[in-house]
Structure 1
Amino acid sequence: MRLKALILFLALENFMLPCFTKQLLGVDCPGCGLQRSLLFLIKGEFISAFLMYPAIYPMLALFAFLGINKFYPIKHSNTITIILMVSTVGFILTNYILKFI
């Protein structure tokens, strides 16, 4: 059973979706690099994951907080959610702008 899971895990790279924006327009989209960054993260290559897509960590923090808040309501969760969303969007936009400079 573990061998099958390992083989599936190693084959994840073969099933990545192509970026249609890049294929059609020849320009990276704001999400380009997210799949590869997640793959690096799964493999334990944390620095490579950040270098591939810097918004990966704020995005994971946002999703983790939303998941935790779903089961254990947290005081001031709206404020925390907004802060995490703004920081995630900020990282995405900064990364996207820096790609063109």
Structure 2
Amino acid sequence: MMYLQPTIFFLSANDYMLPCLNKKFFGVECPGCGIQRSAHLLLQGEFLEALKMYPAIYPIVSLLFFLILNIFVKFKFADQIKLILMLTTAGAIIVSYLIKMNILF
């Protein structure tokens, strides 16, 4: 009689990360390349590694945190804060992309 051994599959978040189609088809990284891995590193507590992987992760997290908090707590200058956080996030994404592509510095 043959017994089947129970198999335990260990799946990590790396198994579910989507590939960058821009990099796959054109060979050039997009401005969002690295955000999934950076978020995963951030959730694992690897804060410096997350910053190195995708420098715009912290402005994105702060923007999301404020947007969620603003649902429950109304701030007097919420629109101005959102605008500043959005511009900071967009600027961080653009600058980190330009540095990654060796256009800046």
Q: TM-score, normalised by structure 1?
A: 0.89
**CA distance change for structure 1 residues 8 and 94 in 2, over 3 Å: closer, same or farther?**
farther
Name the structure 2 match of 1:3.
Answer: none
Pair 1:71-2:59 in alignment: no
Q: How many residues align?
A: 95
Cα deviation, residue 39, structure 1: 0.6
Considering Cα pairs closer than 8 Å and 6+ residues apart, tell me whether 1 or 2 has the greater RCO.
Answer: 1
Match of 1:40 in 2: 41
Q: Is 2:53 aligned against 1:52?
A: yes
How far is the alpha carbon of 1:10 from its aligned partner? Answer: 5.7
> How far is 1:12 from its partner?
0.9
Distance 1:80 1:30 in 2: 24
**79 and 9 in structure 1: CA distance in 2 versus 1, 3 angstrom threshold:** farther
**Residue equivalent to 1:82:** 83
How far apart are residue 8 of structure 1 and its match?
9.4
Q: CA deviation at 1:29?
A: 0.3
Larger Rg: 2
Q: Distance in 2 between matches of 1:11 and 1:85?
A: 31
Distance 1:10 1:36 in 2: 15
Task: Report the residue type matching 1:44 in the other structure.
Answer: G
The match for 1:24 is 25
- After TM superposition, which residue ranges in structure 1, 4 or more long, deviate above 6 angstroms? none
Higher helix share: 1
